[in-house]
């Protein structure tokens, strides 16, 4: 290769590299000067200015079903095809992926959500959040007070795989047979001590008032609950402990018990649900048990493991945060209601 030609090529590469890196700062204008950038091997690739990035993100955030496309969610390939048409030039899947990955909004991600429906949501949820913060009735909890979060995890199956599972190997994940025989199901009742991080559980054939009563008795026979001053039991609105009848029933069992119900569709306020999510991931998945006794044993062993070094959850959602959330939800519903009214008026 001619030395002069090589020198010119190296200078061109360095200059292009400087322009490519100077998207901010005193030389910010250099990158916008050329519609391309040059790599070390002198290959030319298209440049996508901020306007192109904004257009790609707008396409990704669209509700595709409302644009005439017969899909609810678009793959990266679908979005690449639409982006090329909108931009009027070629854009690769990898480039489009990098653009979206850097953005704060991820339109392809979603989760199911239940909006608060209880008209007394704040009145019911507030006392629970106060308990988590160490208060009741405007006064700090005392040393003899305990907070128990209780519920049932229902229909835990023993799935007997029709072929033994295969362990992991080099470059291969463990293989769990898809088909299984049903080995029955049980109900797991648990009481989580919010302030200590201690758990007490039991397995029952069914849920109901009597099985829940046995869980209550199990807790009351243990220290320090046997000698407690007050026992706040946080429960949802399941049939085993619903309403005023359950409140009165437990007060007869032990007058120290104060039953506190979550609002309707607000089990997320009950901390025992966090413990249930942990055992679902760490104890019950994958479900490969030879019988229900194996399920009982695994649950009991994990309880013992947790209680060797109990640690309470770091709950950070407060009454003030709930109030702010309800304000945002109300504003959203008002905005949505106005939009629906406008659409109905236009349709009429």
Domain co-membership, 97 together with 125:
no
Nearest by Cα to 322 from 280, 268, 245: 268
Pair (43, 150) in one structural domain: no
Is residue 331 in some structural domain?
Answer: no
Position 345 scores a pLDDT of 67
Domain boundary (101, 133, 154) is at: 101
User: Where would I find the H helices in the chain?
Assistant: 3-21, 28-33, 50-61, 76-87, 93-101, 121-132, 209-220, 243-253, 272-282, 292-308, 319-347
Q: What is the CATH number of the domain that holds 264?
A: 3.30.420.10
pLDDT of residue 184: 95
> What is the per-residue pLDDT for 340?
64
> Is 259 domain-assigned?
yes
Range of the domain at 45: 3-101
Tokens of 188: 């797991």
Same domain, 43 and 151: no
Residue 182 and residue 79 share a domain: no
In this structure, the answer to whether residues 91 and 146 fall within a common structural domain is: no
The number of residues making up the chain comes to: 348
Is 130 a domain residue?
Answer: yes
Query: Which pLDDT value is given to residue 324?
Result: 95
pLDDT for the residue numbered 105:
80
Same domain, 160 and 250: yes
Is residue 59 included in any domain, yes or no?
yes
| Radius of gyration for the alpha carbons in the chain, expressed in angstroms and rounded | 30
Which pLDDT does position 8 carry in this prediction? 43
140 and 134 Cβ atoms separated by less than 8 Å: yes
Does residue 214 lie within any of the structural domains? Answer: yes
107, part of any domain:
no
Domain contains 348: no
Residue 26: per-residue pLDDT: 40
Angle between helices 272-282 and 292-308 (to 10 degrees): 120
pTM, entire model: 0.76
State how many domains the chain has: 2
Residues 160 and 309 in one domain: yes
- Mean pLDDT in order along the chain per 10 residues (348 residues): 47 42 40 46 68 90 80 86 91 91 82 85 96 96 97 96 90 91 96 98 97 98 97 96 95 97 94 97 94 97 97 96 92 75 63
Residue 20 lies in a domain: yes
The reply to whether 90 and 8 lie within a common domain is yes
């Amino acid at each position: 290769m001619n030395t002069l030609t090589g020198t010119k090529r190296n200078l061109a590469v360095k200059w292009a590299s400087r322009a490519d890196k100077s998207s901010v700062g005193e030389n910010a204008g250099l990158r916008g000067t050329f519609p391309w950038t040059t790599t070390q091997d002198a290959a030319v690739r298209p440049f996508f200015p901020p306007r192109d990035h904004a257009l790609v993100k707008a396409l990704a955030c669209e509700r595709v079903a409302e644009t005439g496309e017969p899909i609810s969610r678009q793959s990266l390939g679908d979005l690449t095809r639409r982006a090329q048409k909108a931009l009027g030039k070629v854009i690769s899947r990898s480039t489009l992926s990098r653009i979206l990955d850097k953005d704060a909004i991820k339109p392809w991600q979603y989760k199911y959500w239940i909006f608060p429906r209880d008209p007394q949501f704040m009145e019911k949820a507030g006392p629970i959040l106060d308990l988590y913060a160490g208060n009741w009735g405007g006064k700090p909890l005392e040393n003899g007070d305990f907070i128990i979060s209780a519920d049932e995890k229902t229909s835990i199956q023993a799935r007997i795989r029709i072929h033994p599972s295969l362990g992991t190997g080099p470059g291969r994940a463990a293989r769990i047979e898809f088909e299984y025989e049903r080995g029955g199901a049980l109900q797991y009742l648990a009481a989580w001590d919010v302030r200590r991080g201690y758990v007490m559980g039991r397995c029952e054939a069914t849920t109901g008032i009597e099985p829940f009563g046995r869980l209550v008795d199990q807790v009351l026979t243990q220290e320090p609950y046997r000698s407690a001053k007050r026992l706040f039991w946080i429960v949802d609105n399941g049939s085993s402990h619903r309403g005023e009848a359950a409140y009165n029933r437990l007060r007869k069992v032990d007058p120290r018990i104060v039953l506190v119900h979550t609002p309707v569709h607000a089990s997320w306020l009950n901390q025992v649900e966090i413990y249930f999510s942990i055992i679902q991931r760490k104890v019950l998945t994958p479900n490969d048990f030879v019988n229900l006794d194996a399920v009982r044993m695994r649950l009991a062993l994990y309880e013992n493991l947790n209680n060797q070094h109990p640690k309470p959850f770091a709950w950070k959602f407060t009454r003030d945060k709930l109030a702010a959330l309800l304000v945002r939800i109300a504003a959203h519903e008002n905005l949505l209601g106005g939009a629906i009214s406008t659409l109905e008026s236009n349709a009429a």
